[in-house]
Structure 1
Amino acid sequence: MNIDKFKHQHVDILRRIAALRELTHAGVARNAEAIAQGLVAMSAVIKLHLSVEDQALYPALQRGDDAALARLGQRFQVEMGPIAAAFDQFARRWNTAQRLREDEAGFRAAANDVLRRVHERMRHEDRDFYPRVEAQHAAAAAC
């Protein structure tokens, strides 16, 4: 399975996290509109990414010949559940400029926690999961 699209989405999401971080450092109240818009846009990308993983990537691994990779995929999918739920709750809570202005400290604390978890998870996938998927794809193509 070609996972280039997944990898490009990771780059996009990481870029969006960095942009939110910059806006937050420059001032939550001053940048509340842009932060809220960025969060809504990033949420759409993350939801699409997770949906395609759940509907295409993980099932393909389960149907494949590499049982160890299938188990690894299943573990990654299960582990993503709480991270995705936390991000969804975060995105729903902080999706308006008014809420951001009303509780800057709460937003900063939540963003530091949730966005760090999303960032770390994507790095983990990029380092430990996607290379295995690519190697399996390359091996299957060579046959």
Structure 2
Amino acid sequence: MNIDKYKHQHIAIFNSIRQLKELSHEGIPQNAADIAALVIKMSSVIKLHLSIEDKFLYPALQEANNPRLAMLGKQYQHEMTHIAETYGEFARKWNDAGHLIADPEGFRTEANRVLKILFERMQREDRDFYPMIEVA
């Protein structure tokens, strides 16, 4: 199964996380508009990524003749539900420059927590899950 589009979306999300980190280090209030725009942009990629996983990847894994991948697919999909909800709350809160300016430390704390979870999940997919799919 070709999963290049998923990998490319991960790269885009990793790049957005790196850019958010850089902008935050340079100053959240000074970069509030850019941070908010980047949160919106990253959210679009994440929503697209999750949508095509749910519509194409996970159903294909369920239909394939590989019970282990089918089980892992269900597990990954189930785990992602909570991560997606957590990220969605984060994105709705911090996609506005005014909120960032009003509470830069709140953003920093929440971004460190939420983006770490997202980052680690994508790393695990890239390291453990995607290679299994590619060889199946």
Q: Do these two structures clear the TM 0.5 threshold for a shared fold by scoring above it?
A: yes
1:1-143 matches, cutoff 5 A: 1-136=1-136
- Higher Cα radius of gyration: 1
**Matched position secondary structure for 1:30:** coil
- Quote the residue 1:139 is aligned against: none
Q: 1:55: how far off?
A: 0.5
Displacement of 1:127: 0.6
Aligned partners of 1:93 and 1:31: how far apart in 2?
A: 16
Aligned length: 136
User: Alpha carbon RMSD of aligned pairs, Å?
Assistant: 0.4
**Letter paired with 2:40:** V
Q: Distance in 2 between matches of 1:128 and 1:34?
A: 33
Partners of 1:90 and 1:18 lie apart in 2 by 17
TM-score (norm: length of structure 2):
0.99
Task: Report the TM-score, using the length of structure 1 for normalisation.
Answer: 0.94
Whole-Å Cα distance in 1 between the matches of residues 26 and 124 of structure 2?
Answer: 29
Percent of matched pairs sharing the same residue: 53
Q: Which amino acid aligns with 2:106?
A: G
- Distance, in Å, in 2 between the alignment partners of 1:135 and 1:15 is 27
Runs of 4+ in 1 over 2 A off after TM superposition: none
Name the SS of the counterpart of 2:23 in structure 1.
helix
Give the gaps of 5 or more residues in structure 1. 137-143
Instruction: List runs of 5+ in structure 2 lacking aligned partners.
Output: none
